[in-house]
């Protein structure tokens, strides 16, 4: 019998959380240490899986399939392929860093750290589940810890932001659930398997139904991405969420939406997806341009970074819509790259906030004088964010647009403006936060501490490594992407 490694990935954090409950709440250091140790375990597991993961194959690997509710065809079905592997690796990579970033916390430490572990279980489940019901359970399970993490440990408007986040994304999940149920009924089959239903959908579901189900699923995912105009929960949630949670939100949770599009709605309804391709491409471009413009006008640096996410997720949408090997590879790569880079930016914003208690860029200024090391790292992160060749952000954008050019030529021309705007808001951020002389009250402050460097340096290394050696991801995604593309364009 082989080790159920995917189950371990999912449930190790949860078991760790259960054990963590036994630690008395006043032993804060032990709780922090324990939880950090637990978050390292999925990373170790991913490291163990890596060599035996076959990059050249499009199929599911490490699969586990146990009937759960056989009468309805629900099963506990897990698997990983070239699409999900980079995302679970990202998850396993970011969680320990986010946890370490929370070591300074002092308020209700036990609950906070336990919830982080619960969140990791849910996220892993989303990326590994191959059964709709299982997927849905994990998808919803993400909301619960997230809600509390924002509502209890957030900023001054935390309750508003948390409720808005909860309701907004729950509306999305309900749409998705409606879609799932309709799909199940429409195919008339006794299974909730994502892959099997995808194969059945084209023959069993009428085209009208296909459109509605596709839209329900897509809308559910789109809110999570977030796709314009459903994005406004994101800046609120980001601004109010504590730094480690912002990191997880931007780095990982947003990817759930795009992951689901690539995993579920598009492969299940390839014709419909192709029918709406141009519209989705337009939405992607709106995300890119609108997000960049909105980012440029922000005074709150955290909001700026949040809108930057809106902009960057647009590339993913655009690349998936264009459905060429280059564009989809770029899009999937962009998911990981954005995860790493946005995590860095949110950590940095947190570092400056920690010192100055403000995120207002009219008050920050000269931070590179006050905290030179943090300044250098922020410059690095901003360069990654604006897509400087040599760093990971470039690879995602470059190949997305390259692949899209012959499909949606006009859209790419418009996106070129977005590339300039992206550079503009990133440089503006550096200008306002780092340059000049600091205000007197901020002139003396501690530079990035060793613990903060511990959270940032791995992300910097990843940004550089992925930028120079994108094979690390693309070798895995290539077969899956090829499959995806032929499914979409071959079937049309």
Choices 36-44, 246-254, 345-353, 383-391; region in contact with other proteins by CB under 8 A:
383-391
Site for other proteins in 250-309 (CB under 8 A): 290, 293-294, 296-298
Q: Does 388 bind other proteins (CB under 8 A)?
A: yes
Q: Check residue 227 and report its DSSP letter.
A: P
Choices 30-38, 101-109, 117-125, 320-328; region in contact with other proteins by CB under 8 A:
320-328
- CB of 48 or CB of 297, closer to other proteins: 297
CA distances to 104, 120, 208, 263, 452 from 98, in Å: 11, 11, 44, 26, 10
Q: Which residue among 313, 383, 448, 460 contacts other proteins (CB under 8 A)? A: 383
Q: Does 85 bind other proteins (CB under 8 A)?
A: no
Q: Does 62 bind other proteins (CB under 8 A)?
A: no
Contact string (CB under 8 A) for other proteins, positions 215-244, x = contact: -------------xx-xxx-----------
CA distances to 297, 304, 313, 323, 395 from 331, in Å: 26, 22, 9, 10, 10
Q: Does 385 bind other proteins (CB under 8 A)?
A: no
Site for other proteins in 190-209 (CB under 8 A): 206, 208-209
The 8 Å CB, 24+ separation contacts for 473-478 are 473/86, 473/332, 473/333, 473/336, 474/329, 474/333, 475/55, 475/56, 476/53, 476/55, 476/82, 476/85, 476/86, 477/82, 477/83, 477/86, 477/329, 477/332, 477/333, 478/55, 478/82, 478/325, 478/329
- CB of 127 or CB of 399, closer to other proteins: 399
Q: Does 419 bind other proteins (CB under 8 A)?
A: yes
Q: Which residue among 66, 167, 279, 461 contacts other proteins (CB under 8 A)? A: 167
Q: Does 443 bind other proteins (CB under 8 A)?
A: no
Site for other proteins in 104-163 (CB under 8 A): 144, 147-148, 159, 162-163
H/E stretch holding 69: strand 61-69
Residue 490: partners with Cβ closer than 8 Å, 6 or more residues away: none
- CB of 8 or CB of 427, closer to other proteins: 427
The 10 Å Cβ neighbour count of residue 301 is: 23
Q: Does 72 bind other proteins (CB under 8 A)?
A: no
Nearest approach, Cβ of 470 to other proteins (angstroms)? 6
Task: Name which of 400, 180, 368 is nearest 284 in CA terms.
Answer: 400
């Amino acid at each position: 019998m082989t080790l159920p490694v995917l189950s371990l990935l999912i449930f190790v954090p949860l078991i760790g959380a259960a054990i963590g409950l036994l630690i008395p709440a006043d032993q804060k250091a032990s709780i922090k240490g324990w939880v950090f140790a637990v978050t390292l375990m999925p990373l170790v597991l991913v490291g163990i899986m890596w060599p035996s993961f076959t990059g050249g194959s499009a199929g599911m690997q490490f699969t586990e399939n146990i009937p759960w509710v056989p009468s309805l065809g629900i099963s506990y079905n897990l698997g990983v392929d070239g699409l999900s592997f980079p995302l679970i690796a990202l998850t396993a990579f970011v969680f320990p860093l986010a946890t370490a970033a929370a070591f300074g916390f002092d308020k209700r430490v036990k609950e906070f750290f336990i919830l982080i572990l619960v969140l990791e279980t849910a996220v892993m489940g989303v990326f590994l589940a191959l059964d709709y019901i299982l997927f849905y359970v994990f998808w919803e399970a993400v909301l619960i810890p997230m809600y509390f993490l924002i509502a209890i440990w957030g900023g001054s408007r935390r309750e508003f932001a948390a409720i808005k986040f909860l309701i907004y994304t729950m509306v999305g999940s309900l749409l998705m659930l409606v879609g799932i149920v309709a799909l199940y009924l429409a195919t008339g089959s006794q299974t909730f398997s994502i892959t099997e239903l995808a194969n059945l959908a084209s023959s069993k579901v009428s085209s009208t139904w296909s459109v509605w189900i596709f839209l329900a699923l897509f809308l559910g995912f789109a809110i999570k991405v977030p796709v314009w105009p459903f994005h406004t929960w994101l800046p609120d949630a980001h601004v109010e969420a504590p730094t480690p949670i912002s990191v997880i939100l931007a780095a990982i949770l947003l990817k759930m939406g795009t992951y689901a599009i690539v995993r579920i709605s598009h492969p299940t309804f390839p014709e419909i997806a192709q029918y709406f391709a141009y519209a989705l491409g337009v939405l992607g471009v709106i995300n890119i341009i609108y997000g960049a413009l909105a980012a440029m006008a922000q005074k709150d640096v955290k909001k700026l970074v949040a809108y930057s996410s809106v902009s960057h997720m647009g590339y993913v949408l655009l690349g998936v819509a264009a459905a060429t090997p280059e564009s989809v590879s770029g899009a999937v790569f962009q998911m990981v790259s954005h995860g790493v880079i946005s995590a860095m930016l949110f950590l940095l914003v947190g570092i400056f906030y920690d010192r100055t208690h403000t995120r207002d860029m009219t008050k920050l200024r000269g931070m590179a004088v006050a905290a030179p090391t943090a300044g250098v790292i922020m410059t690095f992160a901003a360069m990654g964010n604006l897509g400087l060749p040599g760093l990971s952000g470039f690879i995602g954008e470059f190949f997305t647009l390259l692949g899209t050019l012959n499909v949606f030529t006009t859209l790419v021309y418009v996106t070129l403006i977005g590339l300039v705007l992206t550079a503009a808001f990133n440089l503006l951020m550096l200008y306002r936060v780092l340059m000049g002389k600091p205000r007197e009250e901020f002139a003396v402050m501690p530079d990035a501490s060793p613990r903060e460097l511990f959270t940032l340096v791995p992300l910097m290394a990843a940004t550089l490594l992925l930028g120079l050696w994108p094979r690390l991801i693309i070798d895995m995604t290539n077969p899956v992407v090829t499959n995806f593309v032929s499914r979409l364009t071959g079937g049309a």
